[in-house]
Amino acid sequence: METLRLRTWAAILVSIMAVMFIAPNFVDTSSMAWWPAKKLNYGLDIQGGVHLVMGADVEGVVKTTVIRQTKSLEAEFLKENITTKGFVVDKASEGAFSVLVSSNEEAQKVSDLLKKNHVGSLQILSAGADKVDVKYFDAYLLDQKQVIIRQAIETIRNRIDEFGVAEPSITQQGADRILVQLPGMADAERAKQLINTTAKLDFMIVSYEKSQDELRKMIIDAEKAGNYSMTTLKYTEYVNRINADLAAKLPAKTIVYFEKLGNAKSMDVGNVPFLLQTDTDLTGDALDNASVTFDQYGKPEVSLKFNPAGSNKFADLTEKNVKRQMAVVLDKVIKTAPNINQKISGGSAVITLGSSNDREAQLNEAKLISTALRAGALPVSLEQLEERRVGPSLGRDALEKARFAAIMGAIIIMIFMLAYYKGMGVITSVVLILNIIAVFAILGSLGATLTLPGIAGMALTVGFAVDANVLINERIREELNAGASIRNALQEGYDRAMSAIIDSNVTTACTACVLMYFGTGPVKGFAVTLLIGIATTLFANVFVSKVIVDNLVFKFGVKKISV
């Protein structure tokens, strides 16, 4: 009896918790601090949301990879005492470059080193007395592009998760596009802002080879010649255009980026151009953490902490460039360009946010930057190609019909169980209702999203929940027909049916685990709902129903239960 009492209290407590967790979906519990407040979310196909298609600048990443490869090769050549005259990277976006040499002997040495150290990635197209043409293998480039897209998808997912958008669908489309579907308009707007803030962080040394006046004049001339300005183009497009037009006039390995003036509302109203060196090779990948802090005057700023490798790079960079400026560049925008007074060790840095008097705007910007950096720097720049606000695919009328069909289906099942199993049918109906409540409660407590596949998973849950009770009831009926007492019939019915119930649920759970591990988006949502349904079925339709019949027989002395 002591064991029965414990099982009874366990069933009651869990049932009460299930009701508490499902209540916020029907009544306002926000005023009660002790009451769970999470509600069940609805997916894009039910409640609508935002549909975005982002284009990934994969060629830009390939170009950056080639430039980094040439720097690495330069160090290798120096180590092996191989003399070269430099590199030509005019075809970097295609994964190709040339090593300039002064003789066939040097060309042979370069070829031998590449074959020895880079046999799996680089191929030699031609070798002559003046240069060695090199290109990445097509298979290697294709694999790298796929890795870039996968990293971008994972980073976007991490960022959206930080903003609480439930169960987004983020998938690859074609070779260089990413489809993002975000359920819920309010959350989607915040997440869209976060996605568009790519948070590509670079630390770049300011070059003094051109003065501010020279640089400004070159920019004005280029704008007049091309009939464009920062006002008529998006900032990224403008930066790319101006650097392309000035490529022949700028020193090698430099680029022009802009800093917004402190009191200016936007970049096109007031900006300062800087000529920056592109060979710094210190990016946001070296970050360990980013957080919002406040300076001595209480102004928001972003505090950065480098990982060990990044800390060493940062220390070396500041040591070699004392008395020069270092620009902190976020998404091609210069956030600050302080002077380096001494070597900075310890792996820490700060991004200041200008001298604006709007503290709230500065704080929001600091939060957005720190969140984006903490979630991970995107490995590729993204451009929004398409945005559509979509309504629920079911529509309001179809949703009402689906809800009506689900309720009617459950009622018909209960009527059948009552008519066919009578007394045990009543118990089955009660625990079936508890099972459905428990599924909704768990989904709501986890902040999960209910989608069409999730509804399918719940329908399947009801199916195998009833199946478990059918097995139990049939075994009890067989024992009673064989002349067993009600106590023995109930005990044997549950015991003998349990092996079949466990087997069927374990095999279903294994299938759900495979779907959850390999599936994405809707498939994963279906699998999660199915796994939760298996757990609630074993609790409600097996454990709770056994507690109810045991109480009826052992505590209240019921002599007969019709089956």
536-554 pLDDT, tens digit each: 988 888 889 989 988 888 8
Q: Based on the domain organization, do 362 and 449 belong to the same domain?
A: no
pLDDT confidence of residue 187: 52
What b-and-e string marks burial along 206-239, b requiring 16 or more CB atoms within 10 Å of the CB? bbeebeeeebeebbeebbeeeebebeebebeebb
pLDDT confidence of residue 39: 72
Q: Is-contact 20 440, C-beta < 8 A?
A: no
pLDDT confidence of residue 199: 60
Q: Based on the domain organization, do 234 and 98 belong to the same domain?
A: no
Q: Which residues lie below 8 Å from residue 32, measured CB to CB, with a gap of 6+? A: none
pLDDT confidence of residue 275: 94
H-assigned helices in 446-485: 452-481
Indicate whether 165 pLDDT > 60: no
Three-class DSSP labels, 256-320: EEEEECCCCCCCCCCEEEEEEECCCCCEHHHEEEEEEEECCCCCEEEEEEECHHHHHHHHHHHHH
Instruction: Tell me how far apart the alpha carbons of residues 169 and 239 are, in angstroms, rounded to a whole number.
Output: 32
pLDDT confidence of residue 254: 93
In a domain, 227, yes or no: yes
Indicate whether 25 pLDDT > 60: yes
Instruction: Tell me how far apart the alpha carbons of residues 338 and 30 are, in angstroms, rounded to a whole number.
Output: 47
pLDDT confidence of residue 277: 92
Instruction: Tell me how far apart the alpha carbons of residues 528 and 516 are, in angstroms, rounded to a whole number.
Output: 7
Longest alpha-carbon distance in the chain: 105
Q: Based on the domain organization, do 542 and 429 belong to the same domain?
A: yes
Indicate whether 406 pLDDT > 80: no
Indicate whether 525 pLDDT > 90: no
Weakest mean pLDDT among 35-39, 104-108, 403-407? 35-39
The residue out of 141, 170, 187 marking a domain boundary is 141
Q: Based on the domain organization, do 240 and 374 belong to the same domain?
A: yes
Indicate whether 140 pLDDT > 70: yes
The residue out of 345, 364, 388 marking a domain boundary is 388
The residue out of 353, 388, 423 marking a domain boundary is 388
Q: Based on the domain organization, do 384 and 399 belong to the same domain?
A: no
| Lookup result for tokens 């199946």 | 467
pLDDT digits (tens, 9 = 90+) for 105-124: 889 998 988 888 888 889 99
pLDDT confidence of residue 257: 94
Other beta carbons within 10 angstroms of residue 267's beta carbon come to 17
In a domain, 502, yes or no: yes
pLDDT digits (tens, 9 = 90+) for 209-257: 988 889 999 999 999 999 998 888 878 889 989 999 999 999 988 999 9
As a whole number of Å, the CA-based R_g of the chain is 33
In a domain, 180, yes or no: no
Q: Based on the domain organization, do 236 and 215 belong to the same domain?
A: yes
Indicate whether 186 pLDDT > 60: no
Section 393-411 average pLDDT: 71
Other beta carbons within 10 angstroms of residue 448's beta carbon come to 21
Q: Which two tokens stand for residue 207?
A: 């070059």
pLDDT confidence of residue 276: 94
Q: Based on the domain organization, do 401 and 381 belong to the same domain?
A: no
Section 425-448 average pLDDT: 86
CATH code, domain with 276: 3.30.1360.200
Give the angle subtended at the CA of 432 by the CAs of 441 and 493, to the nearest 5°: 130
Query: With bands split at pLDDT 50, 70 and 90, how would you rate the model's confidence at 343?
Result: confident
In a domain, 69, yes or no: yes
- The residue that leads in pLDDT, 495 or 183, is 495
Q: Which two tokens stand for residue 361?
A: 């705007």
In a domain, 326, yes or no: yes
Q: In whole numbers, what is the pLDDT of the chain averaged over residues?
A: 81
pLDDT confidence of residue 335: 79
Three-class DSSP labels, 193-253: HHHHCCCCEEEEEECCCCCHHHHHHHHHHHHHHHCCCCCCCCHHHHHHHHHHHCCCCCCCC
Weakest mean pLDDT among 148-152, 183-187, 285-289, 467-471? 183-187
Indicate whether 331 pLDDT > 90: no
Indicate whether 159 pLDDT > 70: no
Q: How far is CA 523 from the centre of its chain?
A: 17
Q: Which residues lie below 8 Å from residue 397, measured CB to CB, with a gap of 6+? A: none
Instruction: Tell me how far apart the alpha carbons of residues 348 and 341 are, in angstroms, rounded to a whole number.
Output: 15
Query: With bands split at pLDDT 50, 70 and 90, how would you rate the model's confidence at 273?
Result: very high
The domain total for the chain is 3
Q: Is-contact 561 548, C-beta < 8 A?
A: no
CATH code, domain with 24: 1.20.1640.10
Select, from the ranges 183-187, 218-222, 338-342, the one with the highest average predicted confidence (pLDDT).
218-222
Q: Based on the domain organization, do 384 and 398 belong to the same domain?
A: no
pLDDT confidence of residue 185: 54
Q: Based on the domain organization, do 34 and 99 belong to the same domain?
A: no
Select, from the ranges 107-111, 373-377, 480-484, the one with the highest average predicted confidence (pLDDT).
107-111
* Dihedral sign from CA coordinates of 397, 400, 404, 410: positive
Instruction: Tell me how far apart the alpha carbons of residues 20 and 26 are, in angstroms, rounded to a whole number.
Output: 11
In a domain, 99, yes or no: yes
In a domain, 33, yes or no: yes
Section 196-202 average pLDDT: 68
Q: Based on the domain organization, do 345 and 444 belong to the same domain?
A: no
Own/partner long-range contacts of 218-224 (Cβ < 8 Å, ≥24 apart): 218/246, 218/249, 219/246, 219/256, 219/273, 222/246
SS3 550: helix
DSSP classification of residue 94: G
Indicate whether 19 pLDDT > 80: yes
Range of the domain at 452: 2-47+394-555
Indicate whether 516 pLDDT > 90: no
Section 3-25 average pLDDT: 86
In a domain, 446, yes or no: yes
Instruction: Tell me how far apart the alpha carbons of residues 554 and 504 are, in angstroms, rounded to a whole number.
Output: 30
pLDDT confidence of residue 66: 87
The closest alpha carbon to 120, from 141, 106, 105, 100, belongs to: 141
Residue 525 to residues 186, 279, 426, 515, Cα–Cα distance (Å): 21, 45, 32, 9
Instruction: Tell me how far apart the alpha carbons of residues 318 and 396 are, in angstroms, rounded to a whole number.
Output: 61
Q: Based on the domain organization, do 69 and 204 belong to the same domain?
A: no
**What share of the chain has pLDDT > 70, as a percent?**
86
pTM above 0.85, yes or no: no
CATH code, domain with 115: 3.30.1240
Q: How far is CA 92 from the centre of its chain?
A: 30
SS3 125: strand
Q: Based on the domain organization, do 12 and 112 belong to the same domain?
A: no
Instruction: Tell me how far apart the alpha carbons of residues 269 and 425 are, in angstroms, rounded to a whole number.
Output: 75
Query: With bands split at pLDDT 50, 70 and 90, how would you rate the model's confidence at 306?
Result: confident
